[in-house]
Amino acid sequence: MKTMEEKAKELAKLMEDGKGKDVKLIDISKLNSWTDYFVIVTVSSSTHWQGLYKDVKQYIKENDLEIHVTNRKSPDGEDWNLIDLGTIVIHLMSESARTFYDLEKLWFNGTVIDFN
């Protein structure tokens, strides 16, 4: 049985294989109580993030995970899409949103994990 860290690494690799740019996996388990891992990915378009979302949906079917529905403040956001898997949260962000929100800086106390 895979650990959550192994699943997070596989999801990060899946995002990279799907042409996600500058994929980062950060362990934030010691910094909060609501999730353990962030996978942060830069995407090039809405079609790109939708393709990656489809890949995640296929992965979770095979790996005993489920997507938690999130409430969106803006209904048609193209800049930042979140896939909440509970222990793992995947952030699919446009380059401009990623630069603006700078999650890596915000969560700088987390541990960056090598997934390759």
Q: What is the DSSP string of the chain?
A: ---HHHHHHHHHHHHHHTT-EEEEEEE-TTT-SS-SEEEEEE-SSHHHHHHHHHHHHHHHHHTT--PBP---SSTT-SSEEEEE-SSEEEEEE-HHHHHHH-HHHHTTTSEE----
pLDDT means over runs of 10, the chain (116 residues): 96 98 97 96 95 96 90 67 95 96 96 96
Task: Tell me the pTM.
Answer: 0.93
